[in-house]
Amino acid sequence: MRQLLLWCARNPWLASHVPRWRFAQRAVRRFLPGEGFDAALKAATHFKAQGVGALFTLLGENITDLEDAKRVVAHYEEVLAASTGLQAEISVKPTQLGLDIDAAAAYTNLDRLARAATQAKSYLWIDMEGSEYTERTLELYRRVRTAHPNVGIALQAYLHRTVSDVVELMALKPAIRLVKGAYAEPSTIAFAAKKEVDANYLALCVLMLPEVKQQRLRLVLATHDTDMVAKAWRFAQALGIERKQLEVAMLYGIRTDEQLRLAREGFGVRDLIAYGDAWYAWYLRRLAERPANVWFVARQLLP
């Protein structure tokens, strides 16, 4: 089911038709407060009152026109200006900034965003996409991190290479958002079994938490796996790390009760709020993470 859903995520015919179907539009509402930034801002304000920060992401990937990338940059500049009181952060996909077309232009766009994030005392996160982009995304990160302090990168625990990427990035005093990984990857480069991905996720936490203690790394555990967070926290406690130093991020609409609980307990919690009309591939990856969600979609077909 996971492979089928990830195949659907990449299928151009489905990508151009499904977003028009009313039941799909109704189903996606579970993971998006709305398509416009105003809805995202409203959701962020609501979360802020409950001690949960926001991470805004405008949906869209693999753009084919650099003018679109410029519009994305301009949009985020407005987002940063509009959300200063919220201490919100932003997260962007390199292919939304033009990485498929021109790596130099993608870097220029990223650099502009990093500058805007620094000015707004915010933070810019770089999403990690499929493995064909890993090396180029790391390259962008190394460059932009050298020039700007407020920039972080997502790394995927399902990739065999991630442990060496972590070790190599450490010299930059990086910010790392650790995720399990959302794309279809071959078993030659990625762990296939969930048990193996989970084991590697925990091993990477154990590797990185001492760096958090030394304040050489900002680490965000981007996962809904609260057992994993509890295991990481036990290790962090043994190292003398404070609760607010252990940051957790989850997606809007998923395990909201757990996000609020962790925030009440004093952990640093952020809700990734996605918005925009380019939700198709992103939404299919959310279904692939938990195929039981497909029944929720099917229910939207009922009157």
Ligand X SMILES: Cc1cc2nc3c(=O)[nH]c(=O)nc-3n(C[C@H](O)[C@H](O)[C@H](O)COP(=O)(O)OP(=O)(O)OC[C@H]3O[C@@H](n4cnc5c(N)ncnc54)[C@H](O)[C@@H]3O)c2cc1C
> Side chain identity at 77, as an amino acid letter?
E
Residue 290 sits in the site that holds ligand X (CB under 6 A): yes
Contact indicator for 200, 230 with CB cutoff of 8 Å: no
CA–CA separation, 170 vs 204, rounded Å?
13
Rg (alpha carbons) of the chain, rounded to whole number: 18
Residue 289 sits in the site that holds ligand X (CB under 6 A): yes
- 179 vs 205, which CB is nearer to ligand X? 179
Which stretch in 11-19, 136-144, 175-183, 275-283 sits in contact with ligand X by CB under 6 A?
Answer: 175-183
Contact indicator for 33, 69 with CB cutoff of 8 Å: no
Task: Tell me how far, at minimum, the Cβ of 227 lies from ligand X, in Å.
Answer: 8
Which stretch in 7-15, 37-45, 238-246, 285-293 sits in contact with ligand X by CB under 6 A?
Answer: 285-293
Residue 205: Cβ-neighbour burial (10 angstroms; 0-12, 13-18, 19+): buried
Residue 88 sits in the site that holds ligand X (CB under 6 A): no
Residue 258: Cβ-neighbour burial (10 angstroms; 0-12, 13-18, 19+): middle
Query: According to CB under 6 A, which one of 24, 27, 113, 128 is a site residue for ligand X?
Result: 128
SS3 content of the chain, % helix, strand, coil (to 5): 55, 15, 30
Q: How many residues bind ligand X (CB under 6 A)?
A: 23
Residue 225 sits in the site that holds ligand X (CB under 6 A): yes
Residue 127 sits in the site that holds ligand X (CB under 6 A): yes
- List, by residue number, the catalytic residues: 127, 177
Give the residue ranges of DSSP H helices in 49-156.
Answer: 66-82, 103-119, 134-147
Q: Show contacts with ligand X in window 32-61 (CB under 6 A).
A: none
- 119 vs 127, which CB is nearer to ligand X? 127
- 93 vs 107, which CB is nearer to ligand X? 93
Which stretch in 4-12, 216-224, 239-247, 273-281 sits in contact with ligand X by CB under 6 A?
Answer: 216-224
Residue 139 sits in the site that holds ligand X (CB under 6 A): no
Task: Tell me how far, at minimum, the Cβ of 261 lies from ligand X, in Å.
Answer: 14
Query: According to CB under 6 A, which one of 224, 243, 260, 300 is a site residue for ligand X?
Result: 224
- 109 vs 137, which CB is nearer to ligand X? 137
Which stretch in 77-85, 136-144, 179-187, 206-214 sits in contact with ligand X by CB under 6 A?
Answer: 179-187
Residue 211: Cβ-neighbour burial (10 angstroms; 0-12, 13-18, 19+): middle
CA–CA separation, 179 vs 51, rounded Å?
22
DSSP codes, 260-291:
HHHHHTT-EEEEEEEESS--HHHHHHHHHH-T
Residue 180 sits in the site that holds ligand X (CB under 6 A): yes
Q: Show contacts with ligand X in window 248-267 (CB under 6 A).
A: 249-251, 254-255
Where along the sequence are the contacts to ligand X (CB under 6 A)? 127-128, 154, 156, 179-183, 222-225, 249-251, 254-255, 272, 286, 289-290, 293
